[in-house]
Homo-oligomer: A and B are copies of this chain.
Amino acid sequence: MAKRFHKEKYIEGIMAGDRVMLSRAITLVESRLASDQELAQQVIDQLLPYTGNSLRIGITGVPGVGKSTFIETFGNYLINHQGKKIAVLAIDPTSQRSGGSILGDKTRMDSLATNPQAFIRPSPAGKSLGGVARNTRETILLCEAAGFDAIIVETVGVGQSETAVHAMVDFFLLLMLAGAGDELQGIKRGIMEMADAIAITKADGANVHKAKAARAEYQNALHLYPPTASGWIPKVSVCSAIQDAGLDTIWQTIAAYLDQTQHNGFFEKKRKQQNLLWLHEAIRQGLEEKFYTHPQVKSLLPDFTEQVKEGQKSAFAAASELLRLI
């Protein structure tokens, strides 16, 4: 086990922007040891007054859409043109199997990884989606206390993780490829409706015309969607990471969103709602962990599950019997 420090040392280090102490505090957050968890909670709770001052951006898109290239280019744009300090985090439940497929290979974001204004942290491996999401949410707070004022949370647009990311960011950006046919195969239904903006990537060379046609199509489709709770109308734009084009438009979209939602009060309201959501989520996770690791539940659950699945036992009768065990 790596060395642990006194909580004051983590707090002072993070407040001073010390990246090593930030990394070590995140390691505490990700640890399964109860003592580490408790230390992490104390550190976060004391840093809480210094959190919340960043812009939290969720970015999703299926593999192949050019997500890492986009994030690297956009990250550099935020640093160089908007004076931001950025942190890039990831939620990737697949890393349970692969041992870290997104952000796992830091060399994918070479120029960001070596930039002192950027901090990149791969998705913690070997955890459930709930666990990963919780860790990422706590890591956002630590990064904010360390002075990072734009937090990018990356996710793969193929699973449940988008909902978790959507619940922890201010702005949700969906990356899409031109052509509305097969390229959509991978995107899960429901994700498009969560997007505050869609960016059509790889709008370069022979692809420019197709990308612009896709932009018009999506913009048309989006007007059929019900309005968002924020009053914001999602925007569609095109960009090319390799040509460094279109990033300014995306930033202006985000800035316009911020302006509108901070003005109408939605921004603050959403943050507060997210806080409550995470409270209830953390309670639910805690309860379920106690339940599903209970020895008697563990021994009966496989049989019960099979019977319920096959319609031999009702879901509610099975649940009642299991709940009576604890």
Contact = CB atoms under 8 A, between A and B. Distances in A.
A309 interface: yes
Nearest to A281: B315
Interface stretch (A71-79, A200-208, A271-279): A271-279
A265 interface: no
A99 interface: no
B44 A314 contact: yes
Contact of A278 (B271, B287, B316): B316
A158 to B, nearest CB: 10
Contacts of A2: none
A288 interface: yes
A188 interface: yes
Nearest to A318: B279
Nearest to A41: B317
Contact of A45 (B286, B317, B322): B317
Contact of A311 (B51, B191, B223, B309): B51
Interface string A259-280: 0000000000001100110110
A245 interface: no
B288 A284 contact: yes
Interface string A287-315: 11011000000000000110011111111
A144 to B, nearest CB: 11
A110 B308 CA distance: 38
A187 B316 contact: no
A183 to B, nearest CB: 10
A192 B192 contact: no
Nearest to A292: B283
A226 interface: yes
A304 B279 contact: yes
A319 B189 contact: no
Contacts of A90: none
Interface of A: 37-38, 41, 44-45, 48, 51-52, 134, 137-138, 141, 180, 184-194, 217-218, 220-221, 223-228, 271-272, 275-276, 278-279, 281-288, 290-291, 304-305, 308-320, 322-323
Given A45-B317, A191-B226, 12 more contacts: A41-B317, A45-B313, A48-B314, A141-B314, A184-B226, A187-B226, A190-B194, A192-B226, A221-B221, A283-B322, A284-B288, A286-B320
